[in-house]
Amino acid sequence: MKYQIEKNTVQETLMLPLYARNLCTELFPQYFRDHNASRLMEKVAYDFGPMEARSKKTLNVFGALEVAMRQTDLAEEVKLYLKDLPRAAVVNLGCGLDNTGRECDNGQCLIYNLDLPDVIEVRNALLPAGEREENIACDLNNLKWMDRIDARHGVIFFAAGVFYYFKTEQVKIILKSAAERFKGGRMVFDACGPLGVKMMLKTWIKQAGIKDVGAYLSVRDAQELSCEKPVIKVSSRGYMRGYCRLVKT
């Protein structure tokens, strides 16, 4: 029996990146291999027809590439961190149906997947927690979730396409709280400027017919998020060219 995804819900927003990762696996298998996405699409009762109809348009393909690319980029950061701290906690903030934690699993790290209760309900049905893994239902703005993270051996947080739905001050509070509590930890997430946020709303969100979903965070310069107390050091890399070459020579 397939899991029913209701229209115009938080659960529906999971379908956008899921379809994008599957599309890029089909179109660009030399760069992306998220076969888990195809398997999950078969397990949900949801009409992917409108996305399929638009999937040949250049703008939509580029949007899908951005989704797939950010997962690749974030995975690279997680793997790099685990090289130095192999027993660290890997924390997926706003996990949706993303499987990056398991893809980076080195057999020693702890994996935490955090999202809203109705999203974790879907995840528990389709991606139940495995060994050294925990799915946590929570509101990221309620910082009590930090009590659940075992960071004795290090911690890296990552958020894919999540903070766009937060106000800038909310993101800063999460960053500062994590910096105060988890010394030596790292947080990786994607962000773009105001124009990029507008483009996202006009393409994927609007075309999917999802209503009542707003985007708030936009960052012109990554240093806007840095501060001295607590110490938050910020660096940034490009979405499409910062980690791997998209054209093979």
Residue-wise pLDDT tens digits, 101-150 = 999 999 999 999 999 999 999 999 999 999 999 999 999 999 999 999 99
pTM of the model: 0.88
Torsion, Cα 36 99 43 131, to 10 degrees, reads 110
Query: What is the rounded CA–CA span in Å between residue 241 and residue 249?
Result: 15
Q: Determine contact, residues 32/21, Cβ cutoff 8 Å.
A: yes
Look up residue 107 and give its amino acid. G
The domain that holds 108 is classified in CATH as 3.40.50.150
200 compared with 43, residue with greater pLDDT: 43
Host domain of residue 121: 3-225
> Would 32 be classed as within a structural domain?
yes
CA neighbor of 133 nearest in space, from 104, 174, 154? 104
Residue-wise pLDDT tens digits, 18-50 = 999 999 999 998 888 888 899 999 999 999 998
> Would 249 be classed as within a structural domain?
no
Count of structural domains within the chain: 1
pLDDT value of residue 204: 56
> Would 232 be classed as within a structural domain?
no
Query: What is the rounded CA–CA span in Å between residue 23 and residue 41?
Result: 11
